[in-house]
Structure 1
Amino acid sequence: MQSIYHQALGSEFHRLHPEMQKKYGLTSKQNLMALGQGRMTEIRGMNPLLRPFLQAGVIDHLIFGERGKNVPFTLENFAYQDDQGRETVSWIRRFFFPYAIRGFDASMRYDEEKGTIVDDIGKSGALQVELDLHVTNEGGLFMKSKGMTYQGKVQLPGPHTSVYEHYDEEKEEFHVHVHVEHPVFGTVLMYEGTFYTEFLPMTYSNIPERGILV
């Protein structure tokens, strides 16, 4: 079985750094999860006067208004089959601010008809974006969204998101840079930092309510 990222990238998948291949090669058959732990060097973006409006997305783990530097961070990637039997990979991000823990979550799957990754954003997954994937010269992965829809039907003038991740062999750590930009308000959220990843056994307690182990 090929991972959803392998399916989307095709032969380009093998150009990824071996550590990136290991992480992005996870499938539900392996019953493994990738646990990333590190720190975001800086979390910035959005006019301070507008940040309170972002709190509306906190409950669904869509967005948050806190900003800071050297923020502890965790990322859980695990592959499972959702309630429709589709191979899916979680992106459960946690940012540990001094007075709050914020989430920025999503689940990704490969759409065979569209030939691309679909990103269901937030805990509800009601907002969806399609992603373009490219392997960089240094074996990193660049992902960029192509618009946003509500439940895959209603087109929304939402922000565009880009994610760049690569592996540093010398420091043996992953580097990530995420940029969420709105066509009107500009940068809504931008964060970058480093984290280490370990692979752990999956259990049913790890799986979202909509998913199953196979």
Structure 2
Amino acid sequence: MKSIFHLALEEKFHQLHPELQKKFGITSQQNIMVLGQGRMTEIRGTPLMLRPFLNIGAKDHVIFGERGKEVPFTLENYAYEDDDGREALSYIRRFFFPYAIRGFDAAMYYDEQEQAIVDRLGKSSLLSTVMDVDVTKEGGLLMHSRKTKVLDSLSIKGPRTSLYEHYDEKEQAFRVHVHVEHPIIGTVLMYEGLVHTEILPITSNHIPDRGILT
């Protein structure tokens, strides 16, 4: 069985750095998870007066209004088979601010019709983005959103998302950069930082319902 990133990248998957191949190559048959811990050196974006409105999505783990530097961060990736029998991968992100813990969660699967990865956002999965995936010359992973949908059907003009991740040999950790940009207000959310990861064994009992923590 191939992981969703292997399906999306096809032969380019082998051009990824070996550590990225390990991280993005996990499947539901392996009974393993990826646990990441680190710090986001900076989290910024959205004009100050608009940030409180972002916390409307905080309960659904879609977006949040807090910003800061050197923010502790954790990541959990679980590969599982979703309700439609597709190979899927959950992203459970936690940002530890001084007065709040915020989530930014997603569940991804490979869509054969789109020939791309679909990123279903938040606990409700109300919003989803179709993500094109590529490999950089340095063996890093690059993702760009192609379009945004509501309830997997209605296309809307939403923010554009890009993600870049590469392995830092000196730090023996992953460097992550995520940028969400709106055509009118500019940067909605940008965070970047260093994440140390390890691959751990799990059983099916450890996998959160539908791959997303509630």
Listed as ranges, the gaps of 5+ residues in structure 2 are none
Task: Determine the structure 2 residue equivalent to 1:124.
Answer: 124
Q: Secondary structure, in 3 states, of the residue corresponding to 2:92?
A: strand
After TM superposition, the structure 1 = structure 2 runs for residues 138-157 of structure 1, keeping only pairs within 5 Å, are: 138-157=138-157
- Residues 27-62 of structure 1: CA deviation (Å, up to 9, x unaligned): 001000000100000000110001011011001100
After TM superposition, the structure 1 = structure 2 runs for residues 1-214 of structure 1, keeping only pairs within 5 Å, are: 1-210=1-210
Runs of 4+ in 1 over 2 A off after TM superposition: 203-206
Distance in 2 (CA, whole Å) between partners of 1:70 and 1:113 is 40
RMSD: 0.9
Q: Secondary structure, in 3 states, of the residue corresponding to 1:188?
A: strand
- Residues 101-152 of structure 1: CA deviation (Å, up to 9, x unaligned): 0000001000112211111011111111100111001110000111211012
Distance in 2 (CA, whole Å) between partners of 1:151 and 1:208 is 21
State which drifts further: 18-27 or 202-211: 202-211
- Shift in Å at residue 153 of structure 1? 1.3
- Residues 45-104 of structure 1: CA deviation (Å, up to 9, x unaligned): 110001011011001100000000000000111100011111000111000000000000
- Shift in Å at residue 210 of structure 1? 2.7
* TM-score when normalising by structure 2: 0.96
Q: Secondary structure, in 3 states, of the residue corresponding to 2:30?
A: coil
- Shift in Å at residue 205 of structure 1? 3.7
Distance in 2 (CA, whole Å) between partners of 1:71 and 1:2 is 34
Listed as ranges, the gaps of 5+ residues in structure 1 are none
